[in-house]
Structures are given as structure tokens and as C-alpha cells.
Amino acid sequence: MQQLKAKEQELQRLRKAAEERADVVEDYNEYVLKSVSSGVIAFNKEDKITTFNQAAKRILGSEEEGLIGKSCAEAFGEGSGLCRLLDSTLQRSEGSHRSELEIVKKNSERIWVGISASILKNRKDEAIGFAKLLSKKIGKNDPKQGMIEAIINELNTMEMMINELLSLGKAQPISLKPVDINKLIRNLLIKSMGEVKEPKPKIDVNIPSDIPNIMADELLIRQAFTNLIQNSVDAMSEGGELKVEGKYHAADGIDKMVEIVIMDTGTGIPKDKLDKIFLPFFTTKPKGTGLGLALVHKIILSHNGRIEVESEEGKGTVFRVYLPAVPL
């Protein structure tokens, strides 16, 4: 009963954190929209205007208050260049569409404007899009660049937290197929190190080229090892060494297993907390959600594998992951 109450309290904490982050996103959107000299108009999936900033109002000579909630045709006229561009962008379903259009303002003045239209899948993409727009306008050396980067990081953290919470709470279908674990791990390390700030940890990979493939759902296994690698990197904020080894156990009980070992020289985990790290909502990080390793544990078990951990506070942590190998 106490554990249930604790989990409920943790869910409330996470929900509150998500709401606070969402408020930050909304405030930031407003700040960016007022700061840029470019006109910004956003439409929802029902083709209704949701955003119309001051610059767009100035360029087009329109009143913002009267356009929110209207369709493109209602706001700018059926068959207008702006609406044609919107339709063209929606048909492309991805990427961006750039064009130059002649706009007729309310006072009959004709102006040519350069327009770029893009599809934003969600509020996070919208906020990041606005952030990048502002980043281009203010220049690389502007002090606001640090704030923009912080907001983008916060948005990515919010998305990760929500995705992990959803993944942890539902049964996921598993599509097993042979996966080249050697290639997968090496690609993940390249990607992860590309995103790490200095000082970066030294990387040492020792996975035999002839190690067997594993039977796995590649997307889920990729998520599990991404979380494990990120966990190790987070523990080495001042640099260190990350070692990854691969082994093949030809006779591990009934099944033949591939073992992947991830070792770091980070802060380590206190001994009294080691048996709790795979529990949902348990974390030793100041800003951790307690969902990453719980999701790893769930994914590995769902593949008929197992995960073990050893750690010494102040010296580092070792994760050992065992997964069924494809029969040779």
C-alpha cells in the first residue's frame, strides 16, 4: 500500500513537472514570436489559424485578433497564394516548401514576400522551430543563444519523459528478427558522442566482428541501449572512460546468449540503492525521471534476456545485458 502511494505521489510530481515545462514552452513561444522580425502564421490540422504574430500583422496589414480561429480561405481569400502554398505543403507531408508570393494588403498595396512553410508535428516541434528562427535572427554571439539552447534541451527532456512514461505503462508488441548487435552498438555510440559536450568520455569498444546476431525488436533494443549509454555518459560529466564489450556464450543454460557489457568510470551508485535502480520512478540523478532504467529492464525481460548491474560509489558502474543469440 505504501509503495502504491509512493508511486502515485511520484506520478503527481512528474505530471506537475510536465505542466511546468509546458508553461515554459508557451511563454517561450510568445517571447520568440514577439522578438522576430519575420511574420509567423501557424495553422492547426483543421486549417484554422492558431498563431499570428505582430510581424505578420505589420507585413500583411491585418489585425491579429480578427484572424485567430479563421481558415486560410476566410483570412486571405479562396485561392490566394498563401493558401495555395499551405495546400502544397500539406500534400508534401514532410520537409519545408519555400516560395515568393505577391501579397495584396488591405490598402490594395502589392508586395512580394519570401515564404517558407513547414509541417510541425507537435508543440515541441513548433517551439523548436520558433527557437531556431530566433537563433538565426540574433546571431551566434548574442547572449540569448544560451537561453535558446536551454529551452531546446528542456523540450527534448520533456518529450523523452513523456515517451518513456507511455512506453513503461503499456504492453508493446514485439517483432523479433535477427539484429546485428555489433553494428547497432557502434552506431549508437557515434550518435551519442556527437551529442555530448566537452569534456567527452574516452570510448573503448571491443565487440568481436563475428559475434552472432541477436533475436530482437530492433527499435526496442535500440531504445534500451540508448538509455544505458546515456546513463553512463550522464555519470561522467567531467569526462572519464566508457568501455563496451561483447561476448558470445555458446552454452548459457538452454539458450545461447550474447552478452553486452557497458562499463563507465562515473560517479557510481550507492550500495544501498543498487537493488532499486530498475524500479519505476527511482532515480539518483537530480533531474532524473526514474523511467529510463525501468524501461531498459522491461525491454530486456520482454526479449527473454536479463540485465545485471555492479557499481562502486566514486569508481563507476558496470551493466551486463544478456540476449538470446540467433542460432549459428
The percentage of residues in the chain with a pLDDT greater than 90, rounded to a whole number, is: 21
How far is the C-alpha of 213 from the C-alpha of 325, rounded, in Å?
Answer: 6
Residue 263: helix, strand or coil by DSSP?
Answer: strand
> Is 50 exceeded by the pLDDT of residue 119?
no
What is the distance of C-alpha 192 from the center of its chain? 12
Check residues 221 and 10 and name the one with the higher pLDDT: 221
Question: So what's the pLDDT on residue 316?
Answer: 93
**Widest CA span in the chain:** 82
Mean pLDDT of the chain: 74
What is the DSSP secondary-structure string of 158-190?
A: HHHHHHHHHHHHS------EEE-HHHHHHHHHH
Closest CA to 39 of 27, 28, 49, 53: 53
User: Are the beta carbons of 320 and 308 closer than 8 angstroms?
Assistant: yes
CATH of domain 2-164: 3.30.450.20
Q: Is the pTM of this model over 0.85?
A: no
The CA-based angle 8-13-19, given to 5 degrees, is 125
In Å, how far from its chain's centre is CA 99? 30
214 vs 141 pLDDT, higher one: 214
Neighbours of 287 (CB within 10 A): 8
3-state DSSP call for residue 302?
A: helix
**Cα 55 to Cα 115: distance, rounded to the nearest angstrom:** 13
Cβ atoms 89, 119 nearer than 8 A: yes
> Which residues pair with residue 48 across a beta bridge?
71
Digit-coded pLDDT (tens) for 242-279: 999 999 987 655 568 999 999 999 889 888 888 888 87
Out of 77-86, 100-109, 195-204, which region has the weakest mean confidence (pLDDT)?
A: 100-109
Percent of the chain with pLDDT over 70: 57
CA–CA separation, 187 and 114 (whole Å): 39
Note whether 192 and 231 are within 8 A (CB): no
Q: Is 82 exposed, middle or buried (0-12, 13-18, 19+ CB in 10 A)?
A: buried
Strand, helix or coil at 208? coil
Highest mean pLDDT: which range of 25-29, 84-88, 242-246 = 242-246
pLDDT beyond 60 at 178: yes
Beta-strand relationship, 255-264 and 96-104: unpaired
258: cell is 550474447
Question: What pLDDT is recorded for position 275?
Answer: 84
Q: Work out the pLDDT band at 171, boundaries 50, 70, 90.
A: low
- Asked whether this chain's domains 2-164 and 175-324 adopt the same fold, the reply is no
Alpha carbon of residue 167 to chain centroid? 14
The SS3 assignment for 306 reads: strand
Closest CA to 298 of 245, 227, 244, 248: 227
pLDDT tens-digit readout, 274-322 = 888 887 666 666 555 567 788 888 889 989 999 999 999 989 999 999 9
Q: Taking 50 as the threshold, does the pLDDT of residue 120 lie above it? A: no
Confidence of residue 44 (pLDDT cuts 50, 70, 90): confident
- Least confident piece of the model among 83-92, 139-148, 154-163, 209-218: 154-163
**In this predicted structure, what is the pLDDT of residue 84?**
76
Q: Is beta strand 202-206 parallel, antiparallel or unpaired with respect to 255-264?
A: unpaired
Q: Say if residue 139 is exposed, middle or buried (CB neighbours under 10 Å; 0-12, 13-18, 19+).
A: exposed
CA angle 28, 31, 35 (to 5 degrees): 140
Cell numbers for 263:
562499463
Count other C-beta atoms under 10 Å from residue 141's C-beta.
6
Confidence of residue 175 (pLDDT cuts 50, 70, 90): confident
d(CA 244, CA 206): 6
Stretch 199-218: mean pLDDT: 92
Q: Which CATH architecture is the domain 175-324 placed in?
A: 2-Layer Sandwich (3.30)
Q: What is the mean pLDDT of residues 6-17?
A: 57
| Residue ranges covered by each domain of the chain | 2-164, 175-324
